[in-house]
Amino acid sequence: MEGSTAGNVQIVSRRVVRPDAATLPDGVPETMHLTPWDLRVMTVDYIQKGVLLPKPQSGAEAAHLVDGLASSLARAIGRFYPLAGRLAVDGEPAPGIVVSLRCNGEGAEFVHAVAPEVTVSNITDPVYIPPVVWALFPLNGALGTDVSRPVLAAQVTELADGVFVAMSLNHGVADGTTFWHLFNTWSEISRSGSDADRELSTPPPVLDRRFPDSCPVPIRLPFGKLEDIVRRPVYLPVRECFLHFSSESVKKLKAKANAEMAGTATAAISSLQSLLAHVWRAACRARELAPERETTYTLLVGCRGRVRGIPQAYMGNTVTLAVAKSTAGDVAGRGLGWAAWLLNLAVAAFDEGTVRAELARWPQEPRFVYVEPPGEDGAAAVATGSSPRFDVYGNDFGWGRPVAVRSGAGNKMDGKVTVYEGRGGAGSMALEVCLSARALGRLVADEEFMEAVASAGAAA
């Protein structure tokens, strides 16, 4: 509703953005059926990511800011036309239900908001991410099963001295790779101006859904209604911080991890595995876990390039889970290399044949992903999504590169760690760490952990 507020953020207007017919790809089906990869993550929140941009300097840029971004988004979703559709549930013929994506061009929601009292430094300077950030995203609280909602929404919020551009995307239709592919396309179209025929450097998406062999199409879920798979648990409050790690710091962690495991029969430990092991050990200390307590680290592993027949530009979900397990005492006490080695083994255990077999069995044994609150003993799990390979800081919409990236409230559990490319150039990384308030306070006071941090909060 126009004029509604959330904290310091006021909604000015909402509109539906529909793709320009001239930009539509050829051969888009009326109905796109969802794969096991898609269906199993319908039960989680929307993907929510956004970039913080400087304020346009010229009066012309500022005057046409919102309308220009709405227009360029319409052209971008012309390429990703199915994302302008709506999810639908069909219960006929009974028994069971079929969930599909109707490619009807109904459009994406586009929200214009203002936050005149919020500055760029309010977001980038604090160690802790301020609560107002969550109000910069549309469709907060939406699950992938909320079929009455748009599949895609964007929000442009004008700050006192900057602009925040955010998107929310139903995880049941696409993953983080597709999310940033669309975001990169939107920003390139925006900065290229009004030349609709301009050749984009961002490749078009591959729209054909990829099903495993022997998998029925469409997949009929063995439920009476979609609500049967929905869980809306109540989560305990969490806090977040944003931490920057320079390329030199990441290199030191990697060198240390590999040196500690020298002679072990394993593949080289990667930079990311070394950094996440550093986080895992610190999280065990910050949570004050009993030495015998089991702790897990779940990594979301992208399968483009790992599973044959899935191109890099594929529009959909292609993510599997790799899980490392140990006791908190061993993770915290046996050294960085040992914890990183556990993560390395979890990823190395990936087997294409196993993944294909699991996907083929899924229609008969459907299992869904849920973001569960911790039990009575408190949280002991850590999970990492996103990737440092995603192009975040290349999203110049026409008046300057981003100064920061942040995520919304979606899927924010105690132990969620989101990884991004660093703003300091090749090899640098940034982490958005979400823990209980008490544990996060201990984490940022942990000298061993913070020694590797280039900066906390402020863009570096």
* CATH code for the domain in which residue 178 is found: 3.30.559.10
Q: Is residue 355 part of a domain?
A: yes
Burial label, 102 (beta-carbon count in 10 A; 0-12, 13-18, 19+): middle
Same structural domain for residues 108 and 85? yes
Same structural domain for residues 321 and 175? no
Same structural domain for residues 224 and 246? no
Same structural domain for residues 41 and 95? yes
In this structure, what are the phi and psi dihedrals at residue 299, rounded to the nearest 5 degrees?
-110, 130
Q: Which tokens hold the place of 50?
A: 């956004």
Q: Is residue 292 part of a domain?
A: yes
Same structural domain for residues 279 and 164? no
Same structural domain for residues 196 and 243? no
* Separation between Cα atoms, residue 310 and residue 303, nearest integer Å: 8
Q: What is the pLDDT of residue 343?
A: 97
Q: What is the pLDDT of residue 263?
A: 82
Same structural domain for residues 353 and 249? yes
Dihedral over alpha carbons 438, 331, 350, 375 (to 10 degrees): -40
Same structural domain for residues 41 and 189? yes
SS3 of residue 349 by DSSP: coil
Q: Is residue 24 part of a domain?
A: no
Provide the whole-model pTM.
Answer: 0.95
Q: What is the pLDDT of residue 106?
A: 94
Of the three residues 184, 201, 229, the one that is the final residue of a domain is 229
Q: What is the pLDDT of residue 13?
A: 96
Characterise 384 by phi-psi region: left (phi > 0), alpha (psi -120 to 50), beta (else).
Answer: beta
Residues 377-418: pLDDT tens digits? 889 999 998 999 999 999 999 999 999 999 999 999 999 999
Q: Is residue 148 part of a domain?
A: yes
Q: Which tokens hold the place of 79?
A: 């390429």
Q: Is residue 107 part of a domain?
A: yes
Q: Is residue 234 part of a domain?
A: no
Same structural domain for residues 343 and 363? yes
Structural domain total, the chain:
2
Same structural domain for residues 327 and 376? yes
- Stretches in the chain below the pLDDT threshold 50: 1, 5, 459-460
Residues 263-294: pLDDT tens digits? 875 679 999 999 999 999 999 999 999 999 99
Where helices occur in 213-322 by DSSP H, the ranges are 247-260, 271-286
Of the three residues 198, 229, 260, the one that is the final residue of a domain is 229
Same structural domain for residues 298 and 157? no
Q: Is residue 22 part of a domain?
A: no
What residues make up the domain containing 328?
A: 239-456
Q: Which tokens hold the place of 172?
A: 């049941």
* Separation between Cα atoms, residue 437 and residue 445, nearest integer Å: 12
Same structural domain for residues 87 and 223? yes
Give the distance from CA 311 to its chain's centroid. 20
